[in-house]
């Protein structure tokens, strides 16, 4: 699951230092990646992230639109067995 950038980031918002890891995961197994907001944000050691900013970061993590659709919808559809 591609999520929790605010937990992994050393730099803090906007969490750009997490992009290389996320891109590596997507490059190796795009058919196995799903995105998550990581809500509810229960972290008490970092400021609560803005979910809109996290979603914007996804465009950096997965720049290809077709792959991003796969990560946001197709993979979850298959994983959870949603009916079309």
Q: Which residues are catalytic?
A: 38
Cα dist from 76 to 9, 21, 37, whole Å: 25, 21, 14
Q: Within a 10 A sphere around the Cβ of 67, how many other Cβ atoms?
A: 17
Distance in angstroms (rounded) separating the CA atoms of residues 5 and 54: 7
Q: Which two tokens stand for residue 9?
A: 């980031």
């Amino acid at each position: 699951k591609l999520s929790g950038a605010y937990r992994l980031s050393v730099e803090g918002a906007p969490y750009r230092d997490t992009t290389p890891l996320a891109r590596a995961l997507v490059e190796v197994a795009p058919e196995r990646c799903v995105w998550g907001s990581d809500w509810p944000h229960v972290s008490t050691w970092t400021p609560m992230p803005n979910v809109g900013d996290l979603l914007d970061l996804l465009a950096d993590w997965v720049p290809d639109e077709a792959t991003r659709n796969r990560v946001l919808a197709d993979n979850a559809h298959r994983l959870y067995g949603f009916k079309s």
